[in-house]
Structure 1
């Protein structure tokens, strides 16, 4: 017998389930964050612009996830991006290092300024050398080697070529402020300020030095500062921030400051220091010095000795055009002279023995001494 169906009894309706699971936009963004958050900071990734939204943001596919980002003006769908993850907190932040497509990446302001200085300086006729107006010695009779050596050292040390390293020495307490003020950069800064502002500048420099001593890594703070300063305002919320530095105009550089910077750049590029001035009044002199890579070495385990090459050029009253190249390897000296005439070469050769005696007495034995005419082997 079949059970009777009680039609009058009320029964709760069966629960209904949706045919598909509904995912909120918030859940989708959390999934994007979860995937991207697994990437290590500093890793370089490749992204592709998939779509542009109505609010001006873009959908970028990166690391098997689609993130919403604010990209530079001119970006188009299909552009390829090279991204570096630089921060995860409080938001995922990428640095745009290269963009292939409609909006190619360009050099930073610093790189463009360096390129501008390197390209423009050779055109203004300024020699790529340190120049000194004061002669090294007051007269030919006062030509003492120690005095000339000290004058050349001071000319290079105070030329401004090594200002940044000297600034570091001052901050660490191994160089005085008075010594630092003798260099062109400090004098240039002082000349641009009224006297009342110079005392305040000294206070600021002392405060800056104190801050440098206490400065730590500060990487996270730097990320926040960059984000606040450079991140363009997006029309809507994004899944990740993108730092794409703009291309501001090159800063104005004072001519004298530009000359010094160019000298520094040339020194770094050529690994050579050049000096031009007067040996004594009316006697021009050119000097070049560079450190060469050591060739070979001593016994196994012994450190290789530094090798320095120094070249001087004169226009002497009796000998004419003379150049001398001195190569110092450890405590051994090699000298090569070049003259304009054979008579001058013969005169110089006659004093080779005296030169060897003087160098040997100074503790730097003369290993070789050659004299040739210009252009001869």
Structure 2
């Protein structure tokens, strides 16, 4: 599994890559009868004892410093460039350098020793797993109902319970330990997370200081089979969330109403600080009794909140559009700046 930061670095390297220049030995530009910018076909004849190559270009034999993986018989498309009056070539922009031959392993490969931590992480990562967000499945919240209007949800209570369901899932346990050490989180709150309760089952696990997950994993034999498996699955979720920067919550937001909630950190680069360029996106997927299938995409950044509703019913799209002024008022009352709200029906 390659982390997002590593992928970003590789992409930056590719964007800044410059094609190599091919030096032509003892060949002034004028005598070669070639002009800068000209595309030429080069036929590799032989490799010279000094590691360079003898190449035929327009019936001229030239001595070139081609890449080492070049083979006699290769046909290359090159472009003429000039450097201080001398003939210099480069690979044409739409052609790649010659393919490297398959690498062969030495008879005795060097021994590589992994640290205990590396072995632990390797055992937890599934090399065959596809790129999916960390999953918090089978969750359930029980929001209260407001009096005076039948079956109307207390949305503030629902929001609080959803927040707690994610916060206390254990995915952010180490981050919360850091907050506890800094005096920003209470020990009581930290002990409500799964990892903290599991440490109570370990030898000497009843102390005041919550044990790090690494020590718990090294003592899974002391846990029951169910808790040991649950802990490994939880750490796998943490590793996946760290790599993919996204989390998928699945459960019931009220009785008999399932919902999927995808949370994604859209931060670019590897910085961990809070800055103005950081943004979050969420995607809510529901099938409501009256509105039918509905997807809500939410984007939150320094400028405010952007919403996009997707439905396959024209009447649902019309209902949402007619309520946009009320939606704007509710966002304002909550102290949020709703910068955009768009509605689209799949069959439009």
**TM-score of the aligned structures, taking structure 1 as reference length:** 0.51
Distance 1:326 1:127 in 2: 17
CA RMSD after TM alignment: 3.5
Matched, 1:304 2:276: yes
2:257 aligned partner? 283
1:114 alignment partner in structure 2: 121
- Quote how far apart the aligned CAs of 1:137 are: 1.4
Q: Does the aligned pair in 1 maintain the 2:293–2:311 contact within 8 Å?
A: yes
Alpha-carbon deviation of 1:170?
A: 2.6
Tell me if structure 2 keeps the 8 A contact 1:112–1:250: no
Measured in 2, the distance between the counterparts of 1:174 and 1:250 equals 29
The reply on whether 1:326 has 2:298 as its aligned counterpart is: yes
The one-character-per-residue Cα deviations of 1:284-309 (angstroms, maximum 9, x if unpaired) are 011122232379xxxxxxx6343221
Please identify the structure whose Cα radius of gyration is greater. Answer: 1
Mapped to 1, the partners of 2:235 and 2:308 lie a distance apart of: 33
Residue 260 of structure 1 pairs with residue 267 of structure 2: no
- Alignment pair present for 1:128 and 2:138: no
Cα distance in 2, alignment partners of residues 309 and 360 from structure 1:
19
Aligned to 1:160: 170
Q: Which runs of 4+ in 1 moved over 6 A?
A: 249-253
- Give the secondary structure class of the aligned counterpart of 1:119: coil
Distance in 2 (alpha carbons) for counterparts of 1:375 and 1:116:
46
Judge which range, 250-259 or 364-373, deviates more: 250-259
Q: Describe the shift of the 1:128–1:165 C-alpha distance in structure 2 as closer, same or farther (beyond 3 A).
A: closer
What is the deviation of 1:250? Answer: 12
Aligned residues of 2:171 and 2:234 also touching (Cα < 8 A): yes
CA distance in 1, matches of 2:293, 2:266: 26
Gaps of 5+ in 2: 1-105, 213-217, 270-274
Q: Distance in 2 between matches of 1:136 and 1:183?
A: 19
Q: Which runs of 5+ in 1 are unaligned?
A: 1-98, 210-248, 296-302
Map of 1:189 onto structure 2: 199
TM-score w.r.t. length of structure 2: 0.55
Alignment deviations for residues 38-58 of structure 1 (CA, whole Å, 9 cap, x no partner):
xxxxxxxxxxxxxxxxxxxxx
How far does residue 159 in structure 1 lie from its aligned partner after superposition? 0.6
Report the 3-state secondary structure (helix = DSSP H, G, I; strand = E; otherwise coil) of the residue aligned with 1:347.
Answer: helix
Q: Distance in 2 between matches of 1:142 and 1:182?
A: 30
Larger RCO (CA under 8 A, 6+ residues apart): 1
Alignment of 1:367 with 2:347, yes or no, is: no
The verdict on how the C-alpha distance between 1:281 and 1:100 changes in structure 2, with shifts beyond 3 A counting, is farther
> Matched residues in 1 for 2:129 and 2:335: separation?
42
User: Mapping of 1:1-377 within 5 angstroms?
Assistant: 101-119=108-126, 122=129, 128-131=134-137, 133-138=139-144, 141-190=151-200, 192-193=201-202, 200-203=204-207, 205=209, 254-293=228-267, 304-374=276-346
Cα deviation per residue 1:299-342 (whole Å; 9 max; x = unaligned)?
xxxx6343221211111011111110111222522110111222
8 Å Cα contact 2:144-2:154 kept in structure 1: no
- SS in structure 2 at match of 1:328: strand
Question: Relative to total residues, which structure has the larger strand share, 1 or 2?
Answer: 2
Q: Is the 8 A contact 1:349 1:371 kept in 2?
A: yes
Between Structure 1 and Structure 2, the one with more helix by share is 1
CA separation in 2, counterparts of 1:289 and 1:309? 6
